Chain A
Amino acid sequence: MTDLYGMQRAMRNMRKAAMQRGVIAILDIGTSKIACLILRFDGPERFREQEGIGSMAGQSSFRVIGAATTRSRGVKFGEIATMGETERAIRTAVQAAQKMANQRVDHVIACLSGARPRSYGLDGVVELHENTVTEHDIARVLAACDVPDYGDGREILHAQPVNFALDHRTGLADPRGQMGNQLATDMHMVTVDANVIQDLLYCLKRCDLELAGLASSAYVAGVSSLVEDEQELGSACIDMGGGATGVSIFIKKHMIYTDSVRLGGDSVTSDISMGLQVPMAVAERIKTFYGGVVATGMDDREMIDIGGDTGDWEHDRRRVSRAELIGIMRPRVEEILEEVRSRLDAAGFDHLPSQQIVLTGGASQIPGLDGLASKILGQQVRLGRPLRVQGLPQAATGPAFAGSVGLSLFAAHPQDEWWDFDIPMDKYSGRSLKRALKWFKDNW
């Protein structure tokens, strides 16, 4: 418990220091690409205030001054598999972004797309000492949450209070100052594999960067690509990345569930590679140029050169029809969506008042995906693109950058988490008091 507080607190302090310096880097380490954005914070929102429109997610308080993307190496299923390769890829991206920004960055906020996230719903109840709710009471009720045994080798990534209830009134966002006798809270906790975080930390340390924050990529993709009413009424964001597909469910502007499917665009590519007997790079190219999930009669006639360089004429002049390609891709995409469907069902998504589904991420650009998804996931499906932020290059505004943009918003306006509230006094172990006394004795 205290350990968790310590690490997360340290990251928060690091973020504060970075804010003071005004420059922070965003690092989205994905399976297919590594994106690095450098944000400059110019202070509080200066331009929007006069117009009377505040920003929704604080996106006007910063500006992207450097952006770079590089092909990811050594990452599998959103987890670092080969440290050296990944480290070099991170260096490439960070250096290019620094060059563009003409500024050095020391603090970085990163996100994790894999690492087997697991969601827990926690609740806690306390009796109030006085009749009004104070900040201390909130810290107390958060500390009273019953933390389940999430197992060895797991770390808490997020622990966000999503709801407060005061006596019989529930759905309070901020109960401070209100009258009541009993305060209850619901908390959403996400745990991930600890060794994935360790690997990430090690890689960043090797690049002389300091981690100022860590977020789940499914969560940040939802922050950037869901519009306000979708976040409010209930919706699911499907972030279809290269190696993993993240699922996050939002309601009342809080994430209440997240999960990840270890399938993604790279699975489709490897299917094509195996099916057509071509290298991965060629398969990726064919997928992006000719890929699709709905075949028509036209597609039978459209032939694709798949090439090769074995020197064998017959082998190097192979051609396939686009229908064949679609025939390879479609089952895999369907499988991903079915898997997502099962995760949503397990989370009880069909009980939400609104069941909007937003597809984002690089793999969501397959033509015809929204039609296929609406057959599997439900009627309310749309393709999402990330929010626009100042200074972002045109090349980085596509759905593949939902995670990066969401991470920028997260950097500007992080959600209050468990560790942002003070630990209540009674939770401190007696040992620390003894240590303080010892310090006094030693020094006075």
Chain B
Amino acid sequence: MQQMNAQRPDRIKRDPAPSRAAYRIHRLWLTPLFRALLRVGLPSFTVIMLIGLYVSDAENRERMNNIAREFRAAIETRDEFMVKLMAIDGATVPVAADIREVLSQDFPVSSFDLDLEAMKAQVETLDAVKSAQLRIQSGGVLQILVMERIPAIVWRNNQGTVLLDAAGVLVGPVETRMDRADLPLVAGEGAQDHIPEALDLLQAAAPIMDRVKGLVRIGERRWDIVLDRNQRILLPADDPILAMARIITLDDAQDMLARDLSVVDMRLGYRPTIRLQHDAADGLRRIRVSEIGVTQE
């Protein structure tokens, strides 16, 4: 039998009693651990698993790498990042040519591909370069600021003649000593390690500078000052500056170096010794003999 009127206004709605399963699921859902697991654990597990599945395929990995590489290249080759030319400041022309040769960099190149640290190290391997600063300036210019080594002395050794700076570091070769007549000359093994001392000695010898021909390192231990007229000053290993000052004083007082000496030996500080020239010694003997009245035939 059907109801006469289907829509009864005061019909009492039945309680929406949950089924046993719905009730249990609701209770399970209200369990904090389960809830955390479902809300955080399951999505993260799914995402990680999907990513893992995708990545585990070598082809996919390759494709992703390609995409990343292309993307990177697209950014790197943008005009803003390209370096088009190199400017070298503070270097003489041959040194600048050397730097260009050492770097051997083709332009244009992306600034991401330039390893400035390595390039700086490379530039500083050149003897003539004391230090270098590299920076990429706007407009795509690689600016290299070079501090060159200033040659302070000429060193003549077994191989030839080279230039050294004030610290004794090699600056470069030189053809002949006369090419750099303005610089003092040192010679001898081990001289390059004591260039500051040599420069100090030369400064102390400033009053007789016009007569100094050069310094010789003897036995990798001490200095000799070579003067013109075959004269030679032998300096001690310890405190040669003081010894030099004494010689300058003697020279001032007694015109010592102007006399016919061949060697002034200052190696023993308490007993400076001079040696006469061979002719001078002969002449002296002759004078002595004539004084005592002996005629030599």
Name A's B-contacting residues (CB within 8 A).
Answer: 70-71, 73, 88-89, 91-92, 94-95, 98-99, 102-104, 206-208, 281-282, 285, 307, 309-311
Contact = CB atoms under 8 A, between A and B. Distances in A.
A396 B258 CA distance: 130
Given A70-B15, A91-B17, A208-B27, 10 more contacts: A71-B15, A88-B17, A92-B16, A95-B27, A206-B20, A208-B23, A281-B10, A281-B12, A309-B4, A311-B4
B24 interface: yes
Contacts of B17: 88-89, 91-92
Given A98-B26, A102-B30, A208-B27, A307 B10 contact: yes
Contact of B8 (A91, A206, A309): A309
24 contacts: A88-B15, A88-B18, A89-B15, A89-B17, A91-B20, A91-B23, A92-B16, A92-B18, A94-B23, A95-B18, A98-B30, A99-B26, A104-B27, A104-B30, A206-B20, A207-B23, A208-B24, A281-B12, A285-B10, A307-B10, A309-B3, A309-B5, A309-B8, A311-B4
Given A98-B26, A104-B30, A208-B24, A73 B10 contact: no
A103 B10 contact: no
Contact of A282 (B10, B15, B23, B24): B10
Interface in B23-40: 23-24, 26-27, 30-31
Contacts of B20: 91, 206
Nearest to B12: A281
A92 B30 contact: no
Contacts of A70: 15
Nearest to B13: A71
Contacts of A95: 18, 22-23, 26-27
B132 to A, nearest CB: 70
B75 to A, nearest CB: 50
Nearest to B28: A104
Given A92-B15, A95-B18, A281-B12, A104 B4 contact: no
B19 to A, nearest CB: 8
B86 to A, nearest CB: 70
B46 to A, nearest CB: 25
Contacts of A99: 26
A92 B27 CA distance: 12
Most chain A beta carbons < 10 A, residue from B23, B26, B31: B23
A104 B31 contact: yes
A89 B18 CA distance: 9
A73 B17 CA distance: 11
Contacts of B31: 104
Contacts of B4: 309-311
Interface in B20-69: 20, 22-24, 26-27, 30-31
A98 B22 CA distance: 13
A98 B24 CA distance: 12
A347 B26 CA distance: 47
Nearest to A307: B10
Nearest to A88: B17
A281 B22 CA distance: 28
Contacts of A73: 15
A411 to B, nearest CB: 20
Contacts of A282: 10
A208 B26 CA distance: 12
Contacts of A206: 20
A99 B26 CA distance: 8
A353 B59 CA distance: 95
A422 B20 CA distance: 40
A307 B11 CA distance: 12
B179 to A, nearest CB: 95
A94 B20 CA distance: 12
A118 B30 CA distance: 40
A98 B27 contact: yes
A207 B3 CA distance: 35
A102 B35 CA distance: 12
Contacts of A309: 3-5, 8
Contacts of B23: 91, 94-95, 207-208
Contacts of A71: 15
A281 B14 CA distance: 12
Contacts of B12: 281
A426 B73 CA distance: 92
Interface in B122-163: none
A207 B19 CA distance: 11
Given A104-B30, A281-B12, A311 B5 contact: yes
Nearest to A312: B4
A297 B32 CA distance: 62
Contacts of A92: 15-18
A95 B16 CA distance: 11
A97 B20 CA distance: 16
Contact of A91 (B3, B10, B18, B30): B18
A438 B30 CA distance: 45
A285 B12 CA distance: 11
Nearest to A72: B15
Contacts of A94: 23
Contacts of B15: 70-71, 73, 88-89, 92
| 5 pairs of A and B residues whose beta carbons are closest in the complex | A104-B30, A88-B17, A311-B4, A92-B17, A91-B23
A282 B3 CA distance: 18
